[in-house]
Amino acid sequence: MTDQTTTTVGSRAGSTGPARHGQAPSPRDLAARAPANQPPTQPAPALSPRRPGEESAAAPVTMTGAQALVAALEQLGVDVVFGIPGGAILPAYDPLFDSRTVRHILVRHEQGAGHAAAGYAQVTGRPGVCIATSGPGATNLVTPLADAYMDSVPVVAITGQVPSGLIGTDGFQEADIAGITLPVTKHNFLVTEAGDIARTVAEAFHVASTGRPGPVLVDIAKDALQASTQFRWPVPFELPGYRPVTRPHSRQVREAAKMMMAARRPVLYVGGGVIKAGASDELLTLAELTGMPLVTTLMARGAFPSSHKQNLGMPGMHGNVAAVGALQKADLLVALGARFDDRVTGRLDSFAPDAAVVHADIDPAEISKNRHAEVPIVGDCREVIIELIAAIRGEQEAGEQADLSAWWSQLDALRATYPLGYDQPGDGSLAPQYVIERIGKLAGPDAVYVAGVGQHQMWAAQFIEHEQPRHWLNSGGLGTMGYAVPAAMGAKVGAPESAVWAIDGDGCFQMTNQELATCTVEGIPVKVAIINNGNLGMVRQWQTLFYNERYSQTDLDRMEQGTSAGTRIPDFVKLAEAYGCAGLRCETAADVDKVIKQAMEINDRPVVIDFIVHRDAMVWPMVAAGTSNDDIKVARDMAPDWDVTE
Ligand SMILES: Cc1ncc(C[n+]2csc(CCOP(=O)(O)OP(=O)(O)O)c2C)c(N)n1
Ligand SMILES: [Mg+2]
């Protein structure tokens, strides 16, 4: 840095290069992306349409730091920000009031702003933006920032800070948010000079959206927002040392291609990085060229069509037997944008014991972090796959290609013997899996599905056919209850033409449902399916299996088991109506389709459906935490026979 007024506070190692998505759109695109409820507009006239980093700037314009912040957002093509004002950030809200291109959505809790920004980013590929005031406003952003960090989502958070003279004095509403978020942001900045604001915001967008995407926080002191400055655009970056590598090393790629052609039991282990890189088309080509089986992790659902015969499904703790078995029996894993998460590997020392590993990732820090890679490839997944395709074509022309038929018959036997399934409850109550399956069928592959965290999340990953990238959003890494409603709100703002379904738990829903008020007031007609089992189902499942059915603190309602007697607290239908949403309830299998269709017809306001489901349904298969994938159970005390034949 050339001056000390912008403090760069570091973070995630390694990383990265321009992502396919997430680049700031040209201001010319602004009119096309104006929010539905505002007329298309042009960016502020006096400013140059060039991107930051380009040579030569327009003549400087005198304005306040706050105006420079808003002008920078406009120049970066930001069409929406989610936030709540307060003392320290108030100067920024004044020029924001005048912006013709940046729509501000007033949320009800800053956590909602953060998840909404992430939901927006996940469906559009562009950074999502959230704004909060200093102190408690900023600390309310910590959870969504940590969430976005774990799932590599480009989010830019802008927070007001107390005036620079008060920093360090325990001033009113002072919190060291740069310090607090240091471990959960890709990068963050503290800005104390008006003249640094525009450049820092441009840098934040660049860092958030290039290389391995992630959240970036810009904390701006109130006096910097109020001071006068000269605004120029574009502004050159000052990011020494930040040069993400996107082009893979060709020798590594050739080596990987050779191994792929020689392997007898290869598996493509596909992670969320493939979606971030926009590499789904290339992945399809690679898969069909090689005929290899593939698995798509929780974060990669939709990276490759679920309906494609080469897709074995989801691996991991609640993955299906064929997908988990494929990894365990493989002689080669080709990991693409995946990070060998413990929920996928199970006990690491018994994970895929016979496999050599090719690991391609844009973040060098991921490679060999959990599992040694025989062939490490640092690069953007799309570029890696394109080069792999070329190298494999070369190998194939030279006559190289192992016969995978024995491998496929082994996997097909597992697939046929242990398909995903569920039991209908004996007491006539609704099976939660059935509800989710029907939503997936009726809403179809063009809808965007956003899950909360718990059993319903796993069933939504399992029983909805995920056919397209950026149509499945969930909190994979952090497992944040409360993610679904605000993330669905952000997704609907980013993709207004798509139906957006939040599949939420009754526990999760109670953490952030106040954003339904935002959805109603702002005209964001999301659909929320509450899978209401009356309890913290996933925790209860562990109590059933590992704590002798001692249900300590997991019941949420006051309903009597197996009856409709008792009190619904809260009554979600009444709650929905109180928020101005349509509120529906469904308690029987016979009504499921009818109620879903009814919800699909309502598009002038948000809809909430309270699906009353069986309270004891369990997610299967399951690899118990800390155990080996080899010990997967398909039902309680029931292990698969790995040696089945067709
Ligand atoms: C913020 C937060 N607190 C606690 C947990 C631990 N936890 C994981 S799943 C779960 C239960 C979720 O209940 P619900 O939303 O009703 O979903 P269900 O499992 O019943 O489908 C809990 C408490 C968490 N993941 N996140
Ligand atoms: Mg529940």
Ligand nearest to the CA of 432: 1
Site to substitute for ligand 1 among 481, 555, 559, 611, most atoms within 8 A of C-beta: 481
Ligand 1 proximity of 147 Cβ (cutoff 6 Å): no
pLDDT at 444 over 60: yes
Q: Bigger pLDDT: 16 or 472?
A: 472
Helix H segments across 47-87? 65-75
Which residue has the least CA distance to atom 1 on ligand 1?
481
Q: In the beta sheet, which residues pair with residue 91?
A: none
Distance CA 266, CA 407 (A): 9
Nearest CA to ligand 1 atom 17: 505
Identify the DSSP state of 194: G
Nearest-atom number in ligand 1 for the CA of 143 is 1
* 409 burial type by CB count under 10 A (0-12 exposed, 13-18 middle, 19+ buried): exposed
Give residue 14's pLDDT band: very low, low, confident or very high (50, 70, 90): very low
Token digits of residue 54: 């380009």
Task: State in Å: Cα 507 to ligand 1 middle.
Answer: 6
Q: Which residues are catalytic?
A: 110, 172-173, 222, 538
Sign of the C-alpha dihedral, residues 452, 453, 456, 459?
positive
pLDDT in tens, 397-415: 998 788 999 999 999 999 9
Half-sphere exposure of 43 (CA within 13 A, CB side): 23
- What's at 262, amino acid-wise? A
Q: Decide if pLDDT at 495 tops 90.
A: yes
pLDDT of residue 6: 52
**Distance (Å) from CA 612 to ligand 2 centroid:** 10
Distance 535 CA to ligand 1 centre (A): 9
* pLDDT averaged over every residue in the chain: 92
Q: What would the two tokens of residue 155 be?
A: 């989010």
Mutation choice for ligand 1 from 435, 533, 535, 538, CB with most ligand atoms inside 8 A: 538
Whether the CB of 151 sits within 6 Å of ligand 1: no
Ligand 2 centre from 534 Cα, in Å? 5
Whether the CB of 456 sits within 6 Å of ligand 1:
yes
Confidence of residue 8 (pLDDT cuts 50, 70, 90): low
Q: What is the pLDDT of residue 42?
A: 32
**Do residues 65 and 226 touch, judged by C-beta distance below 8 A?**
yes
- Give residue 646's pLDDT: 73
CA of 415 to the centre of ligand 2 (A): 29
* Nearest C-alpha neighbor of 415 from the set 131, 621, 119: 621
**Cβ of 531 less than 6 Å from ligand 1:** yes
The answer, yes or no, to whether residue 27 has pLDDT greater than 80, is no
- How far is residue 435's CA from residue 437's CA, in Å, rounded to a whole number? 6
pLDDT at 561: 62
Q: In 3-state terms, what secondary structure has residue 137?
A: helix
Q: Does the pLDDT value for residue 11 go beyond 60?
A: no
State yes or no: pLDDT of 53 exceeds 70. Answer: no
Average of per-residue pLDDT across 351-359:
98
Contact 238, 199 (CB under 8 A): yes
* Cα–Cα distance, 399 to 395 (Å, whole number): 7
Top pLDDT among 229 and 47 is at 229
15 ligand 1 Cβ < 6 A: no
Q: Are 438 and 596 in contact (CB under 8 A)?
A: yes
Which residues sit with Cβ closer than 5 angstroms to ligand 2, an ion?
Answer: 505-507, 533, 537
pLDDT for the residue numbered 564 = 66
Strands 80-83 and 61-64: unpaired
* pTM of the full structure: 0.93
Percent of the chain with pLDDT over 70: 90
Decide: 460 in ligand 1 pocket, CB within 6 A. Answer: no
| Amino acid, single-letter form, for residue 260 | M
Q: What is the pLDDT of residue 494?
A: 98
- Tell me how far apart the alpha carbons of residues 563 and 575 are, in angstroms, rounded to a whole number: 22
CA dist 8 and 188 (Å) reads: 6
Helix spans in 475-514 (H): 484-494, 506-512
Give the tens place of pLDDT for each residue, 283-337.
Answer: 999 999 999 999 999 999 999 999 999 999 999 999 999 999 999 999 999 999 9
Residue 529 has pLDDT above 90, yes or no: yes
The two tokens of residue 530 are: 């509450």
Residue 480 CB–ligand 1 contact under 6 Å: yes
Residue 22 predicted with pLDDT over 50 = no
pLDDT band of 31, cuts 50, 70, 90: very low
Answer for the pair 364, 334: CB distance below 8 angstroms, yes or no. no
Q: Decide: 318 and 291 in contact? Cβ < 8 Å.
A: no
Determine the average pLDDT of the residues in 218-223.
99
Per-residue pLDDT, 57 = 58
Instruction: Name which residue leads in pLDDT, 557 or 566.
Output: 557
Poorest-confidence range of 2-11, 96-105, 149-158, 235-244? Answer: 2-11
User: Helices (H), strands (E): how many in the chain?
Assistant: 23, 23
pLDDT at 10: 45
